[in-house]
Chains A and B, each alone.
Chain A
């Protein structure tokens, strides 16, 4: 069903209507593309079929400039690939370059846009607010550039290719003109600026904060990889590894933002609104958190805040997407507050203040390192079984194999008894039930293993008991989960390794040593194996079943059932096992 739903979803995606065509503009620096969805890849081929530019956009964006010395009047074929869309179009370059290009930021700080002669720009201002108009002139010929505003006229000599930025105060409103006189021709671009003035209350009423979204992608779309309102930092070793191996798709330098926060605003009036959106992160004490200080030029106003100017079109919504910087080394896990202030353009007093609670956490080094290690150990254990198992089986006598099978049956029986008991005990004790059931389950398993090893101290004996125990549970109770298989692998590896290290399976002479010596040898080997196996089991439960385990609980399980119970069982079983040797002989 899930797959069908998935296929249906994918099908729906594939059959969506054709997306709008991207806008193509020839500018002096190249070709500027503005697509309805973020662009991923662009290829430009000239009329002769030669590829003159091919770019993969590292961080997909809606507007992309492809640097190119285009030839006036030439035809170019553009192949563009966006997120989930693909376009191909042929365009013709203008017959000649204009004398100059004019772009305007109205007000300054907004994205620059191309200005056509005679256009009227509206920059609404809240009473008492001041702003600036930004003019960006790109000259393509040498001459005199004259910029005229209602209050002043400024002229200067410009060279071909020179770029000039002029900031003009607002208000006043009125007529503006930009003119360039070269040696043989002249071009003028007149335009008009309006500055309607709103009261603070009117400004507040016309603008609504719809949502604070964190984290989002640079284009304002939701960040699918991260949990909302949280900053989950990976373990330091993982970041270091990605940095060292140059793997990963996120920038790892300190100047790159950790993510972005989006502020969605809605303008309910018929006039566009320009606002400054300022964000700041506070620590639990209410002070700006230094770990979140923005690392962007001129972005920090000294208070740890980062601002963005936003134009909210009439009867529309707009989102300010603001980078959030996190100093990975300095930040401490805990709760923080994101404070967002929406200020009218040119004023510091906010119209709206919104807050969002954030949680910063850091991945556990133990879990993140231990899990892959345990996976490797499980794979090694299963590999050991596959590689050495047939030899162990071929070498074993039938009596040995049947003894192991019957011991497994005993273990299964006790395990089943412990499970039944565990259900009752768990109803009362919950997570503490293993302290009681472990006396039956863990201690008895250890005692049985001690007995088996005393009777058959060979490599593979313990593995056979573990594997047959698992098989019995699988056949009898249907316990075939992948975690069981992983746990089986780790148990086999750790047990065989530990028994070999302590010499239990390397010789048989230890069986005739003193009681204390046998206890120490077997206890040390089995408790070490038990500690390692139980750690792996807890890791598998944590990662695969998304369980949280308190450190004190882990310690309790490791000290109790995994260690003390195993020692206890060993001490009790050593004498018992010796008497069974006599029975066997």
Chain B
């Protein structure tokens, strides 16, 4: 029987480097083995996973050497479907790997791409193997990080994968979520699935792993059973493990340390979502370090958002603070690291030698002197975090707010970074890392379900997430909705008589009202319609050129024409009809249904699929953009307090981290897609094939017939008006078109 994975003198070399960054590496994994791979940041762990999955050549800009086989075949030569049937790849970011809108669609995509059954019973079976118990139509956006990771594992199982490769899957998970995932991996290995896990938090996996492979500077330095692992070597590589001595507690806070800030009875909710924080209070003294802990969804990031002023009531006169978000990239918006470090002090008027000295000092403390002329977004995750903290420190904050600073970082780096923060700076940080909290926090604040709780009370929480789309009403097939929308769009162009246009407009208003969108959306719709009517009417009142016309108002050389107002009011009904019809369809049809409709209508698969995927990330990108703007706001003056050009330049700069983050996300998503057998020209089967019912036919047939008739008649009439052709015997038809269309 072929080994699950076999690497013989495997290497990987980047074009800019003369020596391979990985290898030569020899490694063999047998079927049903659970192998933990550890090593310092940059040791080549992720590269090895990519090589083993056959994705390195597809996604990396480098050159592979040696021989790599998976179950006896070269993974790079597998077809998309074969790759999906063979292996699953689980990355670090839980949400950046999910492609579909619901749990069922996610699993069905993976199974369908591999040519497997997408029956619900089968999907439930694989979910059970992955330790998930969720309804198939549960939207993926409301899943916790741990559930997301297990869902990606389940997707691989649904495709029939016999090898699961995981790249730091526990980085963002709370201890309970991480333990659940590790338990699932063990059971899968027991069932014969080969599991290779790359993880910094080795302590969580060591207890269940069959083997431990240690990598250092691109080479395997140890390959032993878990029982024989060399903890000294683990220590040297900065890998967290349970036998490591407990870190020393930080020096106690001087009793004379003054009160820096106080937050009392904080209540907070994200827009459109439920309350996340309920009555949390916090007092902070100068130089104090407080670790916020608790399971995923407990409200840690929300509390940090309240402290930094991003959420809740604005405070004035609080401490000068700088917040470094969970993704440190989102606080880096300058072209060079040096600019990033200079930005804050410059905004507060520091120039010349003093500025250079402050930048040099911060760079030296964080160990990033060599990176000063590089773009911050091009650095590694750890380097970006250090740059973000250094940039924060150059602004001389009294309070530093850090969200999950240790995620994906090796122990040595995170300790160096914390050790470099001046003692007079208070730090509030959210973390799942017990050791980090113990080593650097004067005290811990445990949260559970938005309240301060005792540590034992902490249990995983499934966040409910904001509602983006109302519950879909499947009265009509989405194709029917699109058909009706298209018909309305054509009618808006073809119709000309006031009566017919107003009828169309009324029908579209009725369609929106039939969806019972609620007062808020109704108000928004009415506001949009009013703005459209006003804008069109005003423009036509200004531009109306036809005689005869009567000026309602003349100012200088500009007149508002009465006939233009009437014309504008009438023409705006086209836009109102179009907008409301679109709104009705968008309200009633979630993106996955819209995607199904587009695919069923033979729309090219990959643009439609990727657009729907992109749409799912819109709220995430919007949130990231707000995070960037907020992170910048702590480091300088308001954006509008500068010249127009500088303002535009800064606004564009603020998009840089979001774009850079999108590039990284694109890479992750693409990796996930390729691992799951994505074929840009071959759509996988749909989980719930669409069906046209009686209502669909009853609405669609007359609507399309009416539209076709109207178009034909309009063209006939246009040929008459254009003096091209006319049929005397159709005079009554012409008269009807003129009177009614």
Contact = CB atoms under 8 A, between A and B. Distances in A.
A480 B489 contact: yes
Interface stretch (B195-203, B403-411, B453-461, B717-725): B717-725
Contacts of A390: 604, 681
A548 B564 contact: yes
A481 interface: yes
Interface residues of A, number: 99
A528 B665 CA distance: 32
Given A478-B583, A548-B540, 9 more contacts: A2-B741, A398-B673, A413-B625, A447-B652, A472-B615, A476-B618, A480-B486, A480-B585, A576-B335
Given A2-B710, A242-B723, A472-B614, A583 B496 contact: no
Given A242-B723, A359-B548, A393-B681, A475 B607 contact: no
B658 interface: yes
A422 B604 CA distance: 32
Given A404-B610, A475-B611, A573 B652 contact: yes
Interface string B570-597: 0100110010011111100101001100
A366 interface: no
A260 interface: no
A504 to B, nearest CB: 19
Nearest to A3: B706
Interface string A1-25: 1110110011001000000000000
A580 interface: yes
A406 interface: yes
Interface stretch (A244-252, A310-318, A493-501): A244-252
A233 to B, nearest CB: 11
B534 interface: yes
A137 B613 CA distance: 90
Contact of A582 (B374, B531, B582): B374
Interface stretch (B118-126, B264-272, B631-639, B727-735): B727-735
A361 to B, nearest CB: 7
Interface string A421-445: 0111011001101000001000110
A479 B492 CA distance: 13
Given A361-B546, A550-B542, A426 B648 contact: no
Contacts of A568: 648
21 contacts: A3-B705, A3-B706, A81-B729, A224-B734, A225-B726, A359-B547, A396-B680, A398-B674, A406-B621, A409-B617, A413-B618, A427-B530, A431-B542, A443-B648, A455-B663, A476-B618, A483-B493, A546-B567, A547-B543, A579-B375, A580-B659
Nearest to B528: A423
Contact of B608 (A3, A394, A471): A471
A584 interface: yes
Contacts of A3: 702, 705-706, 709-710
B653 interface: yes
B377 interface: yes
A580 B333 CA distance: 11
Nearest to A585: B61
B493 A544 contact: yes
Given A398-B678, A405-B613, A84 B731 contact: yes
A394 B681 contact: yes
Interface in A139-165: none
Given A3-B705, A409-B614, A423-B531, A467 B607 contact: yes
Size band of the interface chain B makes with A: 35 or more
B670 A472 contact: no
Contacts of A60: 728
A95 interface: no
Interface of A: 1-3, 5-6, 9-10, 13, 38, 40, 60, 81, 83-84, 224-226, 234, 238, 242, 247-250, 334-335, 357, 359, 361, 389-390, 393-394, 396-399, 401-410, 412-413, 416, 422-424, 426-427, 430-431, 433, 439, 443-444, 447-448, 451, 455, 464, 467-468, 471-472, 474-483, 544-550, 553, 568, 572-573, 575-576, 579-580, 582-585
Interchain residue pairs A-B with the least CB separation, the first 5? A478-B582, A430-B538, A431-B539, A471-B611, A405-B610
A451 B667 CA distance: 16
Contacts of A249: 723-726
Nearest to A407: B662
B604 A393 contact: yes
Interface residues of chain A: helix, strand, loop or mixed (majority): helix
Given A426-B534, A430-B535, A482 B490 contact: yes
B383 interface: no
Contacts of B27: none
A426 B528 CA distance: 10
A515 to B, nearest CB: 13
B724 A242 contact: yes
B416 interface: no
B669 interface: yes
A447 to B, nearest CB: 6
A448 B656 CA distance: 10
B732 A579 contact: no
Contact of A431 (B490, B535, B617, B731): B535
Contacts of B485: 478, 480
Nearest to A406: B662
A9 B611 contact: no
Contacts of B723: 225, 234, 242, 248-250
Contacts of B695: none
A547 B536 contact: yes
Contact of A398 (B547, B617, B670): B670
B518 to A, nearest CB: 18
Contacts of A402: 610, 613, 666-667, 669-670, 673
Contact of B378 (A393, A394, A472, A583): A583
A2 B598 CA distance: 28
Given A225-B721, A247-B724, A476-B618, A576 B656 contact: yes
A6 B680 contact: no
B740 interface: yes
Nearest to A455: B663
